[in-house]
Structures are given as C-alpha cells and as structure tokens.
Amino acid sequence: MNPSELHDPGAGCAVCPSRFSQLRKLGLRVEASDHVIALAGNPNTGKTTVFNALTGLRMHTGNWPGKTISRAEGGFSYQGKRYKMVDLPGTYSLLSASPDEEVARTFLLFGQPDVTVIVADSTCMDRNLNLILQVLQITRRAVLCLNLMDEAKAHGIAIDVRNLARDLGVPVVPCAARSGEGIPELIREIATMADRTDSPAPRRLPLEVPGLGLALDRVEAGLHEVFPHLPQPRWVALRLLEGDREIMDAVLSGDIGALAETHGAYPNHGKES
C-alpha cells in the first residue's frame, strides 16, 4: 500500500495559512487545465459548498436533495498547476438513474476525471458508504471528503479517519466546507493524488455470486473487442448482465462508444486506468 494512502491530516493543519495562500481561485476561467477533478456524492452532502470553497464561485446551494441538476464547472490553481472542477448532481447509487443522476453517472464512468472527490455527509456515513464503495469500484484515484464534520461532532458521532482510510484504500479528509475547515488539506490531497503516476487498481467488492466472475470476464472481453477504448468495461458488463435497459440501448446503438469519446476528451490523462 502506498504510504500517502494512509495519510491523516492532523488537526493542527486545519488553519495553516501557508497552505491556503498557494491556492488561487480561478472561478470560471478553466480553459486550459492540467487536471480534471470531479465532485461526486450522495444528494445534499454539500458538494456545491465544497465546489464554491475551492473555486470561489457562488453556485446556489440549498438544504435539500436535488438542488444541483446539471454539472457545473469551475477552476482553481495550486502550486502552479491548474485544476478544473466539475460539480455533479448528487446520486444515491450508480445502479439507478433519474435524468439528473444520469449526468453524474455518465461523467464518473466515461468522463475519466483525474481525481474523483467523493463528498460524504459525516452524520450518516453508513448510507453514504454504499455510493463510496460503488465509486471505488470504478476508480481508486479518489479522495474521500468527510463533510459536515462539525455537525457530526454536535451529534456525538466520532469517525476514526485513519481506520476508514485504511479500509477504503484512499485518503480521507475531514471537512466543514461551510466554514472552510479542512479545505487546505483537501486541496493538498487532491494535488497529491492527481500527480501520482502509478494507477491503483479499482477496489473490487467481494461479489459472492456463483459464476458471476466468469460471466463478467466473458462479456468484458466481448465489449473490449467491439469498443476497444471503452473505459470501465467491467462495470458496463455488470450492467448488461443485470439487464439495465439504458446501457443495453447505448451498447446496441453504439452510443456508448461515443459517450466515452465526448466525455473522455482529455488526451493526456485517464486512459491508463
């Protein structure tokens, strides 16, 4: 395991000004970026608040699930590198899809962001972990942001950050985005993850279903033959085996190949995973 995965930002760094001063909020100026960062998570966990804190934009936030319905883009620069942030609508799972959730799911799967920041609500982690595990199935270039830590504390909830990071295999950063607490650490972890040259394997869930592994291998091989550049062929294979209508139609019409091209148009990155 890579040592940076075990990193636990100490509370002392929370308000470290020297880190924060290296951040330049670029707002909407995101034309040429070195890295693409996606913000994903359950609805109403504060993704847009994190997005605003990083980019200096003022997208509308609201305390209800479903406030963000299409993706928003913004940027920041840190230590001389430019990052493009993509704020996605909240989604409970990658298995279902209403039109707003579809936006999130398509981008995460085929947009090939360099880093996916999963924003979670610390007050109800058990519910959030379902999506976290699903996202980690398709990428490990992820950073988990435990948002609303202040509220979790007020509710008497304690989270062993180090333990959680070890279990999930990705860096975990506790935050309170509304007051800006933990944002400097989050930026540092995003930058570290974006600069990593090794490509960690996606976390595989122990899917204890007899015969599933073999079936997945065969469909995946078939997909690879038809769409050689398709990212996440294993996930698409799983959806086909489950009979997901939308994905089946996309495969049949060849749209799934097009999706991968329009959303994955970042020539320098992403293809290695």
Partner 1 sequence: MKTPDDVLREAQELRWQLPQNLHDRITESIYGEAARIAGRSITRSGGSRRLAWQQKLDRLLTNPWTAFPIMVGVLGAILWVTIVGANLPSALLSSLLVDQGRAVLSGWLVAAGAPEWLRGLLADGMYLATAWVISVMLPPMMIFFPCFTLLEDFGFLPRVAFNLDRIFQKVGAHGKQALTMAMGLGCNAAGVVATRIIDSPRERIIAILTNNFSLCNGRWPTQILMASVFIGTLAPKGWGGLIAALSVLVVALLGFGLAMLTSWMLARTVLRGEATTFSLELPPYRPPNFWKTLYTSLIDRTLIVLWRAVVFALPAGAAIWLCARIPVGGQSLAAWFIHATDPFAWSMGLTGVILLAYIVAIPANEIVVPTILMLTVLVTGASGGHGAGVMFESDNESVRAILAAGGWTTLTAVCLMLFSLCHNPCSTTLYTIYRETRSVKWTVVSALLPLAVGFALCAAVAAVWRCVG
Least gap, CB of 54 to partner 1 (angstroms) = 16
Of 98, 91, 48, 90, which is closest to residue 73 (Cα–Cα)? 48
Strands 115-121 and 35-41: parallel
Q: Given the rule CB under 8 A, which of 5-13, 106-114, 163-171, 187-195 is the region that contacts partner 1?
A: 163-171
Give the number of other CB atoms < 10 A from CB of residue 22.
14
Kindly tell me which residue out of 2, 4, 13, 254 binds partner 1, with binding defined by CB under 8 A.
254
Pick out residues in 200-229 that bind partner 1 (CB under 8 A). Answer: 205-212, 215, 218-219, 222-223, 225-226
Q: Does 151 bind partner 1 (CB under 8 A)?
A: yes
Residue 138 binding partner 1, by CB under 8 A: no
Closer CB to partner 1, 37 or 238, in the complex: 238
C-alpha separations of 230 from 125, 224, 237, 238 in Å: 32, 7, 11, 14
Q: Is residue 43 a contact point for partner 1 (CB under 8 A)?
A: yes
How far apart CA 141 and CA 5 sit, in angstroms, is 11
The whole-angstrom separation of Cα 247 and Cα 96 is 11
Q: What are the beta bridge partners of residue 144?
A: 118, 172
Residues 6+ apart with CB under 8 A from 119: 39, 40, 41, 45, 46, 47, 50, 145, 147
Instruction: Decide: is 97 part of the binding site for partner 1 (CB under 8 A).
Output: yes
Record the tokens describing residue 107, joined without a space. 């981008």
Q: Which stretch binds partner 1 (CB under 8 A): 19-27, 97-105, 111-119, 193-201?
A: 97-105
* 176 belongs to the binding site for partner 1 (CB under 8 A): no
Does residue 64 belong to the site contacting partner 1 (CB under 8 A)?
Answer: yes
Q: How many residues interact with partner 1 (rule CB under 8 A)?
A: 67
- How far is C-alpha 84 from the geometric centre of its chain's CA atoms? 13
**If binding is defined by CB under 8 A, does position 246 make contact with partner 1?**
no
Whose structure tokens read 């333990």?
163
Residues near partner 1 (CB under 8 A) are 43-44, 58, 60-66, 69-70, 95-101, 123, 125-126, 129-130, 132-134, 151, 154-161, 163-164, 167-168, 178, 205-212, 215, 218-219, 222-223, 225-226, 237-238, 240-243, 248, 251-254
